[in-house]
A = this chain, B = another copy of it.
């Protein structure tokens, strides 16, 4: 049940090893729209009889998200994976190598595979978990066609440097921006304007959710139109199919759900920040527990999408997996995220770039990381309990 647990934060199928009667503290909890606000919208959708295929709620949510995120062109998708797959197709990429990170959710690399492209893994920056631009440059070959970085845990990549080197080498850049909903660069600009395309996820576990959902963000009207065709089977009009598009349509019910959630997402992010501040204050000097520098000294507007800690086993006196189990025994469901590295999974481990020797920092971080419970519903008492278990008091 761990996978379900980690992905849904539901309590129902969880059983603690010590059979404690209390509910466990889940790693995430979905932001839910008030049903009193949703029901009138459902009535409106029912009476229109337009329940999917780019209806009015779909259009309204696209506009509202463009405004909120500070981007011009956004296309809604039914989940967070299909935008990744469609991004390559939209850019016409179907052969060659894509430089990417192993320190991400597996969908990142799956999207490369589904487009007939070859993933080339490079190592990450130990201070952020993001792909290391230096390593990108070293991995470029005549076969390279694109770079797919991930803004890990909501921390923006060094997009200026990555975009600059991409231009220099004439490569496309697709940012897997699943984690950076609402994040702004230090200068207030949107992280989602970097590269050629950014993809976001609105899965239940994300800062903003439409139950399942996602979107592509691009830079021109023409590209948005192409993406909108691709997410609807490649239909350009009723009688013209221009490409083998996949149905990726977001429906009206989830669009309405998203419109309501968008109204409360800033409040939810504030609550996340409050919990993160407790964690940081109590853990920043904890022996054997390492935080990313941006967690104590933010240089950008973070969304607190995740709260990773890194367990230095020798110094801490306990391995990451031991602490993970100790937390569970205390009714606290952390998540080893990202672990294992994508490069170690069966479909990808045969690539030369997948070897641990090539990825020492990612390999270490994957062995050390626990994402602590992080959502808008955590109480101060719960946060205190969590840090107490970690610091052993």
Contact = CB atoms under 8 A, between A and B. Distances in A.
A46 interface: yes
Contacts of A237: 2-3
B244 A114 contact: yes
Contacts of A235: 3, 106
A280 interface: no
Question: In this complex, which of A53, A110, A243 has the most chain B Cβ atoms within 10 angstroms of its Cβ?
Answer: A53
What's the number of copies of this chain in the assembled complex? 2
A105 to B, nearest CB: 8
A54 interface: yes
Contact of A244 (B49, B110, B254): B110
Contacts of A6: 238
Interface in A245-287: 245-247, 249, 251-254, 257
A35 B30 contact: no
A49 B79 contact: no
A51 interface: yes
Interface centre among A30, A43, A51 (most CB of B within 10 A): A51
B35 A46 contact: yes
Interface residues of A, number: 75
B85 A49 contact: no
A310 interface: no
Given A3-B238, A78-B78, A340-B239, A52 B204 contact: yes
B10 A48 contact: yes
Contacts of A165: none
Contacts of A79: 78, 247, 249
Interface in A61-106: 78-82, 85, 105-106
B11 A49 contact: yes
Contacts of A39: 35, 39
Interface in A118-143: none
Contacts of A241: 106, 342, 345-347
B347 A204 contact: no
Interface in A1-54: 2-4, 6-12, 26, 29-30, 32, 35, 38-39, 42-43, 46, 48-54
A186 B186 CA distance: 69
Given A80-B247, A243-B347, A347-B241, A49 B35 contact: no
A107 interface: yes
Contact of A53 (B7, B29, B257): B7
15 contacts: A8-B50, A10-B48, A10-B53, A10-B55, A30-B51, A35-B42, A78-B78, A106-B234, A114-B114, A116-B116, A240-B346, A241-B342, A242-B347, A243-B346, A253-B257
The 9 A-B residue pairs with the shortest CB-CB distance in the complex, in nearest-first order: A10-B50, A2-B238, A81-B247, A241-B345, A8-B53, A110-B244, A113-B244, A3-B238, A211-B251
